[in-house]
Amino acid sequence: MDDFKCKICGSETEEINYEQFDIKYHYCRKCEFISKDNRSIISAEEELKIYETHVNSIDDRRYVDYFKKFIDDAIMPFCGEGKYGLDFGSGPSPVLAMILERDYGYSMNIYDIFYATAKIYHGKKYDLITSTEVVEHLENPIKYFSLFSELMDCNTLLVIMTQFHPVEEEKLFKWHYMRDMSHISFYTSKTMSYISDKIGLEMVFTDHIRYTSFRLKRRIESSHKKSDKN
């Protein structure tokens, strides 16, 4: 029995081994979070080299459509009236932020650990926070979800994109996401539910594939109280 505690729910985890690459992971069967063992995490320099191989552009129609689907499925049905947003982990070319500004009327801030390093979000509240293909790179996800919650008010929508892992171990090691050495944290919609409970968020949408949308829990609770009075 592995005595490594889950970084999300604190439960005991099971050690699983990716023999092809000699990498150990810690699998929490309770919340379904999987984390790569610290000894197998690559350096920031190696991670940056992987990012540098990505070629993404606002002129790439397929890439734009990829984000348009995300916006139309996970953001637009749930967003409020505000148009002030943060794209956290925007990458070398902030295509999502550009689309939100160009086609949806948002004014976007961007942050990225490598490409837009000024922590422009300090002391601000946003109407929309997006983080796409980012949380799989985070060693301590709770730290960042807590940060997101500090940037939210009662109307803010937080929207995360990360591909959810297969539950079956035999499928897990055939999964392309696991083969990217910069990926160290893996989730399912169940994991996202545990995170939301721990941080004080409410899941308002998930497609059970890769999209999850959240609001602060007190907004949901206050709306219930208001409807009870009516």
Does residue 1 form part of some domain? no
Instruction: Report pLDDT digits (tens) over 159-185.
Output: 999 999 998 888 998 999 999 999 999
Domain that holds residue 61: 14-229
Residue 2 lies in a domain: no
Is residue 6 in some structural domain? Answer: no
Sorted by sequence, the CB contacts under 8 Å of residue 168 that are 6+ apart come out as none
pLDDT at residue 52, as a whole number: 82
Q: 21 or 107: whose pLDDT is higher?
A: 107
Domain holding 180: CATH number?
A: 3.40.50.150
pLDDT digits (tens, 9 = 90+) for 185-228: 999 999 999 999 999 999 999 999 999 999 999 644 444 444 45
Do 136 and 186 contact (CB within 8 A), yes or no? Answer: yes
Distance CA 174, CA 45 (A): 26
Q: What is each CA distance from 149 to 64, 128, 192, 196, 212, in whole angstroms? A: 28, 11, 14, 10, 15
Please indicate, yes or no, if residue 190 is contained in any of the structural domains. Answer: yes
9 within a domain of the structure (yes/no): no
- Residue 8 counted as domain residue: no
Decide: 134 and 141 in contact? Cβ < 8 Å: no
37 within domain boundaries: yes
pLDDT at 198: 97
Assign residue 82 a region: left if phi > 0, alpha if psi is -120 to 50, beta otherwise?
beta
> Quick one: how far is CA 202 from the chain centroid?
15
CA distance linking residue 27 with residue 33, whole number of Å? 6
* Number of domains comprising the chain: 1
Q: What percent of the chain has pLDDT over 70?
A: 93
Confidence at 3, pLDDT banded by 50, 70, 90: low
Query: Helices (H) and strands (E) in the chain — how many of each?
Result: 8, 10
Residue 168 lies in a domain: yes
Amino acid at 90: S
* Single pTM value for the model: 0.91
Residues 6 or more apart from 170 whose CB is under 8 A from it?
Answer: none
160/130 Cα distance (integer angstroms):
6
